[in-house]
Structure 1
Amino acid sequence: MKKVVMYSTGFCPYCTRAEALLGQRGVTEIEKIRIDTDPAQREAMMSRTNRRTVPQIFIGDTHVGGYDDLAALDRAGGLLPLLEGSD
């Protein structure tokens, strides 16, 4: 399973939803990068994604986007193949 990285904040309902969905799809480990406690990480996230909102989710080298993007990818049947693909 590919590595999952999620930019998040301490209280973020969409981050919680994203974690739950990923957990349902077999993800047991998510590297969380807190942008509320580390301003440098906020800047890094914005330059990496061109977005300001959390969560911002990466599966391997692929930027999935936020929770809505993750859920849409799952509904379209693309999440599991992306998670299980080789790096």
Structure 2
Amino acid sequence: MSAAKAKAQSLINENAVIVFSKSYCPYCKSSKDLLNKIGAKYKLLELDELEDGADIQRALEEISNQRTVPNIFIKQKHIGGNSDLQAIASKLPEMLKDAGAV
């Protein structure tokens, strides 16, 4: 397993909610705004600001079959991207409560 894949998997395993993002991405901003609005506690990684961000993004594709950001996990379950998160917005408070992330 590559170091980037091990790091990504470790971050997914250790955090109730994790958002792999890029600081300039409007879809990422929309996801972060939604999570912030409902008071979610989440780990945020801005891949464009990390030295190994591109490697982590490639590793996330192996893990989740999704190359794009945001790439969101709740309780180690791959949620998807912004459109996926927005689609479950009404269920998020309960999901976050179950994950201990509110």
- Smaller-chain TM-score bracket: 0.7 to 0.9
Number of aligned residues: 84
Aligned Cα root-mean-square deviation (Å): 2.1
Correspondences of 1:1-87 after superposition (within 5 Å): 3-34=16-47, 37=50, 38-74=53-89, 77-86=90-99
Q: Which runs of 4+ in 1 moved over 3 A?
A: none
The amino acid across from 2:28 in the alignment is: C
Taking structure 1 as the reference length, what is the TM-score of the superposition? 0.81
Structure holding more strand per residue: 1
Taking structure 2 as the reference length, what is the TM-score of the superposition? 0.71
Tell me by how many angstroms 1:48 deviates: 1.1
Gaps of 5+ in 1: none
Gaps of 5+ in 2: 1-14
Tell me by how many angstroms 1:62 deviates: 1.5
Structure holding more helix per residue: 2
